[in-house]
Structure 1
Amino acid sequence: MSDNEKPMDQDAPQRRILLAVTGLSPQIVTETLFALAIQGEPRWVPTEVHLITTAEGADRARHSLLSADLAWFARLIADYRLPPIAFTESQIHVLEDVDGAPLGDIRTPADNDQAADQLTELVRRFTADPNTQVHASIAGGRKTMGYYLGYALSLFGRPGDRLSHVLVSEPFESTWDFFYPTPYSRIIETRDHKLADTAEARVMLAEIPFVSLRHGMPAGLLEGKSSFGEAVAAARAGLGAPELVIDYSERRILAGGRPVRLAPALLAFIGWLARRRQRGAPPVLCPLEDHPDPTCAAEYLAEYRAVIGAMGDEERTATRLAKGMDAAFFMEVKSRLHGKLRAALGLGRKPYQIDGSGKPRGYGVGVEGGQIRFVDVRLWF
């Protein structure tokens, strides 16, 4: 069976994206495409190709891969009778500097930050579509570009996505006139000024395993634009040791370093149970529906007043709890709090949730007392 007659991957989704970082060697696009679509077992043929590169890298990609004079991308498709693959100039994504101008090269810390954010956002956007499969190649570009692309795929990638590096046999590696092994004889001059036949070249795809952290990412980062730093912080919050900082003046908590703003009712609720945990008090039993608990109401209202301050309006809440806290109030506020934590922290929310255990079921925060602090975060920083 010839290479272009090998069976296709029948489980691959309809939208398949080859995403590559490239620098001054756009050949990695055709080399990777050859390895996937011609040599792969089963063959994986992308439906579209996207590049991330610098201004000079974009020029090289346009001239060598897409121009009418060279057209190496179209030549590969024609030589191996591949189905149409969408790849136009609009799919060459040029990195930008802090002012929005095309980035000539990545040389400064600010350039690195910009590249990381733009790579992360592109990966997040492509992986947000459940009908896509992404194959990311880190073979080209600056080492930092490959690092950021691989890290972004670890943060947002799904089980079906792939990460790879392509290798080319000597003497074809880093030879400008080599783009893929041709199905016919083509003699070129290599970088060391020797002659070689591209039909004899070998291309090897090294697949790189990665750990997917997507399941622990907050919904807000998965669904909206996110920076590299924000995504990394979210992953750390989900994996690191829990720490709960409660700041009533800013009406927020810091959960593992991640800020979560909460309405006064929710902030008072977690503050109430966190303070009990901090002083070693037992978990709170959920009040019975027909027997409101005055002690729970008094402790909760004390925290609520601390949140809203002397000028705040507590009348509505105090009226509702005048006869004590009932089960409906307790469970309603707990549910709303969990919803906010889920949206902000993803799986990293678990230590900060108000979960119950034992019989009868007692409720409290998951973090230990020594991991809780009530501070004015503005002064603490």
Structure 2
Amino acid sequence: MKRRVLLAPCGLYPQVITETLYCLYQRGRLIDEIHIITTSPGKEMVLNKMLAEGQGMFFRFCEEYGINSEEIVFSATNIHVPKNEEGKELTDIFSKEDNEKLLALTTDLVCRLTSNEENDIYFLVAGGRKTMSSCLTLAVQLYGRRQDRLFHILVSPEFESNSEFWYPPVQARMLMVRDTDGRYYEKSTANAKLYLVPIPFVSLRAKLPQELFQTSQLPGTLIASQTDQKKRLLEIDLATSVICYGGVELDMHPARLALYAFFCKAALADNKPTAREVLDQQQEIVSLYQQIGVKSINATSDTGIMNLTVENFNSYKSKIKKDLEQAFGQSAVDLVIASEGKRPDTRYGILLNRKKIVFI
């Protein structure tokens, strides 16, 4: 039996959930399961405002419209919050690292929900930070199927983000709202207009190898899989700090790009240097760093790319690997700076065929 599942990002305005449930109800579509992606403050808001036993607005909505809330799977376990490296729930999506955690959580959840053919997924891109909607839209384009739907919800401006408005109640009531000049006045909820707007999306799922969908994959893996592996080139553009591989672009930090470009040039020369040989060629790395267009070389730290040591060389190498894996997924296996041999004679290099490395 087909089940309708709602998946929505949510910030500090969980009203978008009940507003969406209302619009779907008006279309005769009852939801069987609800999942929310949010931050830790958003989670507390949903728990306190929507799911508080006996008074949560989710239960009020269901009771008012004659819906059995017990038949809808929606509890604290359905609220998904990305976590940092220490396992703590994120309070906001603010940094690049935060966004990476959010994207990983979103793609994993979308992959899992769409793996069940009995699920029709309704994706909502109306709540939370814009980056939440962007991550969900990307995941839908990669994992979405013909039976899935992507929506945005529009609400009358005077009721939108009004803390007292959760959905049009059966019995209309007066609410204090603000006009465009910020002045308060009373208006009936009977005047509230809600529109659930379908958003077309191009699904890549049918065009990609189906074995990739058995587990969650990073977007880079799925996108790169569209190109013939034999024709993929690793393109390095120092002027723009961009690396491109398999149609996927990566904006790499200038310092890390300088070191990575050094190893790309070493690969072109069929050379795999030791750590000591890398340090001995510091000036070449400096030259590459200058080509990237960094405004002030003097502003770099004494322990930065301008003054490589064995310790920060390993740190840079680790960060470069993380950048590549995040951007290119499984395809990064041939792109990372790999090591071979035992210390102190360990050599480092890129495994990709040198004929596929191009400087722009």
TM-score (norm: length of structure 2): 0.61
Across the two proteins, how many residue pairs are aligned to each other?
A: 240
- CA separation in 1, counterparts of 2:90 and 2:15? 21
What's 1:217 paired with?
A: 208
1:237 counterpart (218, 221, 225): 225
Q: Which runs of 5+ in 2 are unaligned?
A: 234-244, 249-329, 332-349
Q: In the TM superposition, what are the counterparts of 1:101-250 in structure 2 within 5 Å?
A: 101-191=88-178, 192=182, 193-227=184-218, 231-238=219-226, 243=231
Question: What does residue 281 of structure 2 align with?
Answer: none
Q: Kindly state the Cα deviation for residue 256 of structure 1 after the two structures are TM-superposed.
A: 4.6
Percent of aligned pairs with the same amino acid: 34
Matched-pair contact (CA < 8 Å) for 2:126–2:152: yes
Partners of 1:119 and 1:240 lie apart in 2 by 27
- Residue 76 of structure 1 corresponds to 61
Indicate conservation of the 8 Å contact 2:208/2:225, yes or no.
no
Structure 1 residues without counterparts, runs of 5 or longer: 1-12, 246-254, 259-343, 346-374
- Preserved contact between residue 227 and residue 246 of structure 2 (Cα < 8 Å): no
The letter of the residue matching 2:97 is A
Q: Tell me the SS of whatever aligns to 1:23.
A: coil
Give the Cα separation in 2 of the matches to 1:201 and 1:188. Answer: 11
Change in Cα spacing, 1:131 to 1:69, as seen in structure 2 (3 Å) is closer
Larger radius of gyration: 1
- Distance in 2 (CA, whole Å) between partners of 1:237 and 1:49 is 31
Matched, 1:86 2:86: no
Q: Show the 5 A alignment for 1:17-56.
A: 17-38=5-26, 40=27, 43-56=28-41
- How far the C-alpha of 1:176 sits from its partner, in A, is 0.8
With over 3 angstroms needed to count, the CA separation of the structure-2 counterparts of 1:186 and 1:99, relative to structure 1, is: same
Task: Tell me, yes or no, if the aligned pair for 1:242 and 1:256 is still in contact at 8 Å.
Answer: no
Distance between the aligned counterparts of 1:16 and 1:60, measured in 2? Answer: 24
**TM-score computed with the length of structure 1 as normaliser:** 0.58
CA 1:139–1:376 in structure 2 vs 1: closer, same or farther (change >3 Å)? Answer: closer
Instruction: Write the distance in 2 (CA, Å) between the matches of 1:31 and 1:241.
Output: 46
TM-superposed deviation, 1:113: 0.7
After superposition, give the CA deviation of every residue in 1:183-220 in whole Å (9 maximum; x if it has no partner).
10222222543222223311101110000111133334
Provide the residue aligned with 1:369 in structure 2. Answer: none
How far off is 1:167 after superposition? 0.7
- The question of 1:377 aligning with 2:352 is answered yes
One-letter identity of the residue aligned with 1:198: T
